[in-house]
A and B are shown apart, each in its own frame.
Chain A
Amino acid sequence: MVKRTFAYICILLLSLTPIGSKAKEKKEPIPKAPLFCGVAVFADLAGPTMKAVGARFDQLEVGARLNFRDHFFPLCELGIGESDREGQENQNKFHTRAPYFRVGMDYNFNKKHNGNRFMGGLRYGFSSFKYDFEDPAFTDPIWPSTGSFKFNNQQGQAHWLEFSLGCETKIWSFIRLGWNLRFKARLKQNISDYGEPYYIPGYGKKGSSTFGGTVNLIFDVSRTTKKKKNNTINIENILKHE
């Protein structure tokens, strides 16, 4: 019985070995992309959508990136963030409109150069902005008096990090579409003594961390395959010399 079992195992192992080796032979190595594959510019579609549907804040954002080996994408993003809002249950108002920028890098996890990219990235963001807020009816509940205050042009600054995950795909020729979700962690902020800004341009709603995302329309002029050398010309030249 033991001998028979041993024999079966040996047959099984022997039968599996050639299949494995064949599979290895068939698997072609993925060609390496050139060091510099190209550049791309992109625009965020989520911001204008948020503006159109009347979200509490929105941003208009564009960016550019380089492509190295179809894996490393150093990039920069520029935008204008805006929030103009009144409280739902009171008359408090908040307004800001200011530029922001981010620099960082995405990494493409997809080893194949098939047009799809699965990206993970890290960005550093910065914004220097001014904000206004007011409370036109600030009533003292104990001493019978009502006052108001309005603070304009309060200076604010914020620095933050963004961790992103997303994907993108080729739609047509050099046009691509992608989206990503971002976790944002605030590093530092300088704000007015009278109150925190409700919205930080490029970062989002106030808080030590927040989530965000973009939907990007990308114009990508990258080449992920190396040009093959044309030997025929050289041969013709040699023949001419002869």
Chain B
Amino acid sequence: MRIRSIISALAFVALFIVGCDSIDCTINNVVALNIAFYDSETKKEVSITDTLNVTAEGTDSVLYNRGIKVKNIDVPLSYWLDADTLTLDFYNIASDTHHSVTMQVNKENIPHYESPDCPTTMFHQIQSISYTTTTTNYVDSVVLVNPSVNYNGQENIRVYLHPAS
């Protein structure tokens, strides 16, 4: 009776140890560059009134499509390129106007490994940004506020827009 109890207990513990396993991947695993829009005079976050599209060099994909009344957007960056060139196109159908900002984001790509069961992700450390714009009366300036692009979803770049826009 005693031996039987011991064997049962051992079998239970062995099953518990061997069977107690699960796959725990991060749920919020989107790594994206966060771009926010600000009023250049009040320095407060604003919603854009125009329709926004974002494209990039080296890919046919539209990174952000038809954003209206958005305060900030998330845009993916390339895994292996040292610099990404992003183009933000603002369309106003009512006034039939188009403004464009092209940003070059120079960055270091940092692979982030989680576990054998979870997909690998790529973090980025932005080293510098530069930009050109088609119309100076729409975009005032573009500023890098946080160089780390990772899971945290923090604001990385601020685009200051003129109040009239």
Contact = CB atoms under 8 A, between A and B. Distances in A.
Partners in one complex: yes
Contact of B13 (A85, A138, A181): A181
B17 A142 contact: no
A86 to B, nearest CB: 6
Interface stretch (A12-20, A71-79, A210-218, A228-236): A210-218
Contact of A144 (B16, B59, B119): B59
B70 interface: no
B78 interface: yes
A142 B9 CA distance: 53
Interface string B109-130: 0111111111110100000000
B10 A145 contact: no
Contact of A86 (B2, B9, B114, B116): B116
Given A92-B113, A179-B10, A213-B13, A143 B79 contact: yes
Contact of B79 (A49, A85, A88, A145): A145
Interface residues of B, number: 34
Interface string A65-106: 000000000000000000001111110111000000000000
A50 B16 CA distance: 11
A29 interface: no
Contacts, number: 107
Contacts of A171: 6
A171 B9 CA distance: 14
B96 interface: no
Interface stretch (B18-26, B34-42, B99-107, B138-146): B18-26
B68 interface: no
Given A87-B117, A142-B59, A177-B6, A194 B80 contact: no
Interface of B: 2, 6, 9-10, 13-14, 16-18, 20-21, 24, 56, 58-59, 61, 63, 76, 78-81, 110-120, 122
